[in-house]
Amino acid sequence: MVRMLLTALVVVSFACQQSKVAPPEPVYPVPSARQLAWHQLEFYAFIHFNMNTFTNMEWGFGDESPGRFDPTELDTRQWVRVVKEAGMKGIILTAKHHDGFCLWPSSYTEHSVKNSPWKDGKGDVLRELSDACEEYGLKFGVYLSPWDRNHPDYGTPEYVTYFRNQLRELLTNYGEVFEVWFDGANGGTGYYGGANEDRRVDKKSYYDWPNTFSIIRELQPNAVIFGDAGLDVRWVGNEHGFAYPTTWSNLLRDSVYAGMPEYSKQYSPGQENGTHWVPAEADVSIRPGWYYHPYEDHKVKSLPHLLDIYYKSIGQNASLLLNFPVDNRGLIHEKDVEQVMKLAAKVKEDFANDLAAGVRVNASNERGTGYKISNVVDGKAETYWATEDGVTAASIDLSFGEPTIVNRFLVQEYVALGQRVKAFTLEGRTDEGWVSIAEGTTIGYKRILRFPDIEVEALRMTIKDAKACPAIANIEIYKAPALIVPPVIVRDRLGMVTIEVPDDNVSIFYSIDGSDPMESGQKYAGPFEQHSPTVIQAIAKDEQSGKVSDVSTGDFDISKIKWSVVGNDDDAEKLIDGSDNTWWSSESNEVVIDLGEVIRITGFTYMPMQQRWISGFISEYQLFTSGDGIDWRLSSEGEFSNILNSPILQTINLNSATDTKFIKLRAIKTVDDRPASFAEISVLTR
Ligand code: FUL
């Protein structure tokens, strides 16, 4: 009896072995274990906080006194709480930026926190942050600028030794480090210990990167190394936070080096035939600058902008490294917190209910046991569907069993076996049969397609082409609620008013008489003319859910349809074009506008330029009026207080209403003594 049982067992186990299917062969390159762990983080924070925070600069020269580093309320636990609550998995801090100032008391330089007034020189920002990360379960990473505009030896082999010594300090004394971040900016003018000169280095060879990298492997074997060219993670090639519709994790790594001028254009999306696995990381700041500047307090990125970044990075096979310019108190600014929390809430809402969870799923080809199509909806990253060897085109049908509205499709390759898919399509089965929804190229670790709401009974993803048999680990399907944000109202120079919202499925209601746009507003159907002074109010409404945005307000005085700028510079028209995003600067520090007819004005407004790199904000002005453009009368003079820190709309009311056909705005002083710049000038008549 026992023998019979044993025989039976042997037969069964033999049969099982027979039916076991071999996994697909990897398609090289493939990720290392440390890269695979990094892929799963997806979203983490950058903190730019250092000497520049106190000098109001983006790139310090290197001659700044350590005495200037003096945060009043530094609280790394606040940073960590915000980052964690926003759903991010780690923090990378600028331990040393290009100006060379160190946030930790390095033994190799005096240019550090130890000579600052902060905590009487006893403080260590890195220690505080790594402790806080550990307390809250976040990963901790370091940015160490290779370029050092303070160090006297920069450009010589001695500096490379110094740089490596610092790296050793960072990687030895602060616990586990998940990413080491090296910037591509290298060499140029600087203080260099008092030499005040221009020092260039050979970006390819100066740092002897292979030997520098081996220090990281020795001290922090799990840390990934970031640089334009890797080693492990590459720069996405822009600072907008966008990866590309076609983004390979494969890179021709031996063809690129950090700081290479043609990198962004030629190499940053990766290459199908790339030789090494070097996935992309998209870095972007929540404000225009990387460092804190009070004058950017009104320029924190909006929810629609941040959401777009999210989908264009994480949704396009890159990780997202979102920067917070910690302010001179030592805190993430309230406005930044507010915006990132809006993003976190919207991401949560978009991915709340996975409609793929209950679908019936079929594939046109299956490799066999262990690689079944049901693996793509089992919620497990380690199981995947694959086709038979040689089958590089196949389709997957996902049936809901009832009409279902969808607008997001999320798909992930089983990247441990390499990135394979080269082209795919998405179709939906509607009342009219199969209709095309979207087309894509690469997938990689994660690809998210966004498309307008569509009611379907089934979805079909067809892989059209792949480097080898596809291996798909995961599919998720969502119906993200519409993005309901207050509409943006603009009026151009000709008096045409446009009201816009980011989501096509959302209706806009507006009023032009000060009444509640929700109660008595009309539905916006396209641009309309508005020449007389008006307050336009608008709301966005999702007709499906009834959800309504806050009200947005556009306060417009008379239109500029009859206006012209006197002089022969066509570009000067930008200061009356209705857009705050265009600007013009005047060598003569003044501008004359012909209003086209005599108007009784009660005041005027001046909008300073809104670009990232600012110049020529007017701080002291004179306003002249004239009936003929020849005889001028001084109608107002004064200052635009605090304009440098707060470059928002400046509104000046005249002492008495004045009839005039011409106005002349003259800059008596600009904040930086550069020619006066103007984004927009308007008059007030009410
Ligand atoms: C750039 C640097 O030069 C900026 O200052 C910033 O650190 C950014 C993340 O990388 O290349």
pLDDT digit string (tens) for 459-483? 999 999 999 999 999 999 999 999 9
Measured CA to CA, the distance from residue 317 to residue 176 in angstroms comes to 26
pLDDT digits (tens, 9 = 90+) for 38-64: 999 999 999 999 999 999 999 999 999
Closest residue by CA, ligand 1 atom 3: 185
How would residue 6 be classed by pLDDT, with cut points 50, 70 and 90? very low
Confidence of residue 19 (pLDDT cuts 50, 70, 90): low
Query: Do the Cβ atoms of 335 and 263 come closer than 8 Å?
Result: no
If pLDDT is split at 50, 70 and 90, which confidence band does 544 have? confident
- Give the ligand 1 atom nearest the CA of 290: 6
Q: Which atom of ligand 1 is nearest to the CA of 145?
A: 7
Q: Which atom of ligand 1 is nearest to the CA of 94?
A: 7
* 10 — pLDDT class (breaks 50, 70, 90): very low
Token couple for 361? 């799923």
Q: Do the Cβ atoms of 683 and 557 come closer than 8 Å?
A: yes
Tell me how far the alpha carbon of residue 97 is from its chain's centroid: 20
How many Å lie between the centroid of ligand 1 and the Cα of residue 282? 12
Q: Which atom of ligand 1 lies closest to the CA of 283?
A: 9
Contacts of residue 564, defined as CB under 8 A and 6 or more positions apart, other chains included, come to 573, 593, 594, 596
Kindly tell me the sign of the dihedral angle through the C-alpha atoms of 111, 115, 116, 119.
Answer: positive
- Mutation test residue for ligand 1: of 56, 99, 183, the one with most atoms within 8 Å of CB: 183
Looking at residue 185, its pLDDT comes to: 87
What number is the average pLDDT over the span 636-643? 95
Any idea which of 255-269, 418-432, 668-682 has the lowest mean pLDDT? Answer: 255-269
**Residue 59 Cα: closest atom of ligand 1:** 5
Pocket test for ligand 1, best of 49, 145, 239 (most atoms within 8 A of CB): 239
Q: Indicate whether 15 pLDDT > 80.
A: no
Residue 20 has pLDDT above 80, yes or no: no
Six-digit token string for 128? 């505080």
Choice from 46, 234, 290, 292 to test ligand 1 binding pocket (greatest atom count within 8 A of CB): 290
Confidence bin at 258 (pLDDT 50/70/90): confident
Compute the Cα dihedral for 220, 224, 230, 235 and give only its sign. Answer: negative
pLDDT given at position 229: 82
Residue 176 has pLDDT above 50, yes or no: yes
User: Closest Cα to residue 523, out of 538, 502, 508, 504?
Assistant: 508
Q: Is the CB of 183 under 6 A from ligand 1?
A: yes
In the reported structure, the alpha carbon of residue 183 is separated from the centroid of ligand 1 by a whole-number distance in angstroms of: 6
pLDDT band of 358, cuts 50, 70, 90: confident
What's the gap in Å between 59 CA and the centre of ligand 1?
A: 9
Using CA positions, which residue lies closest to atom 10 of ligand 1? 183
Q: Which pLDDT does position 14 carry in this prediction?
A: 42
- The pLDDT of 293-309, averaged and rounded, is 96
Helix (H) or strand (E) segment spanning residue 424: strand 421-430
Q: How far is the CA of 170 from the centre of ligand 1 (A)?
A: 19
Whole-number Å distance, alpha carbon 149 to ligand 1 midpoint, is 14
Give the nearest ligand 1 atom to 97 CA. 7
| Nearest-CA residue for atom 6 of ligand 1 | 290
Which are the contacts of 247, defined by CB distance < 8 A and separation ≥ 6? 269, 270, 280, 316, 317, 318, 442, 444
Q: Which atom of ligand 1 is nearest to the CA of 58?
A: 5
Give the residue from 473, 444, 323, 408 showing the smallest Cα distance to 39: 444
The 3-state secondary structure of 323-343 reads EEECCCCCCCCHHHHHHHHHH
Looking from the CA of residue 48, the nearest atom of ligand 1 is 7
Residue 4: is its pLDDT beyond 80?
no
Q: How remote is the CA of residue 264 from the centroid of ligand 1, in Å?
A: 14
For the CA of 46, the nearest atom of ligand 1: 9
Is any atom of ligand 1 closer than 6 Å to the C-beta of 290? yes
Selecting from 3.40.309.10, 3.20.20.80, 1.10.540.10, 3.40.718.10, what CATH number does the domain 33-350 have? 3.20.20.80
CATH code at 488-556: 2.60.40
Regarding the beta carbon of 283 and ligand 1, being less than 6 Å apart is answered yes
DSSP 130: H
Domains of the chain, residue spans: 2-26+354-478, 33-350, 488-556, 564-684
Predicted confidence at residue 228, as pLDDT, reads 86
CA atoms within 13 Å, Cβ hemisphere of 252:
10
CB 230 within 8 A of CB 216: no
Measured from the Cα of 184, ligand 1's closest atom is: 11
483-to-329, 480, 536 alpha-carbon distances in Å: 33, 8, 22
Q: Which fold has domain 564-684?
A: Jelly Rolls (2.60.120)
Other C-beta atoms within 10 Å of 379: how many?
Answer: 12
Distance 297 CA to ligand 1 centre (A): 20
Q: What distance in Å separates the CA atoms of residue 399 and residue 534, rounded to the nearest whole number?
A: 52
CA of 185 to the centre of ligand 1 (A): 7
Output the CA 11–ligand 1 centroid distance in Å: 64
Give the distance (Å) from ligand 1 centre to CA of residue 45.
14
Long-range contacts of 209-212 (CB under 8 A, 24+ apart): 209/258, 212/160, 212/163, 212/164, 212/167
> Taking the CB of residue 60, how many other CB atoms lie within 10 A of it?
24
Instruction: Using the predicted structure, report yes or no on whether residue 12 has a pLDDT greater than 70.
Output: no
The confidence score (pLDDT) of residue 18 equals 45
pLDDT tens per residue, range 560-592? 999 999 997 899 999 999 999 999 999 999 999
Query: According to the model, what pLDDT value does residue 11 have?
Result: 43
Instruction: Give percent of the chain above pLDDT 90.
Output: 93
CA-proximal residue: ligand 1, atom 4 (nearest): 290
Percent above pLDDT 70 for the chain: 97
CATH 3.90.550.10: does it fit domain 2-26+354-478?
Answer: no
Mean pLDDT in residue range 505-531 = 94
Give the max Cα distance, the chain: 121
Query: Predicted confidence band at 7 (pLDDT cuts at 50, 70, 90)?
Result: very low
Q: Is the CB of 185 under 6 A from ligand 1?
A: yes
pLDDT mean across residues, the chain: 95
Would you say the CATH fold of 564-684 matches that of 33-350?
no
**Are 424 and 464 in contact, with CB atoms under 8 Å apart?**
yes
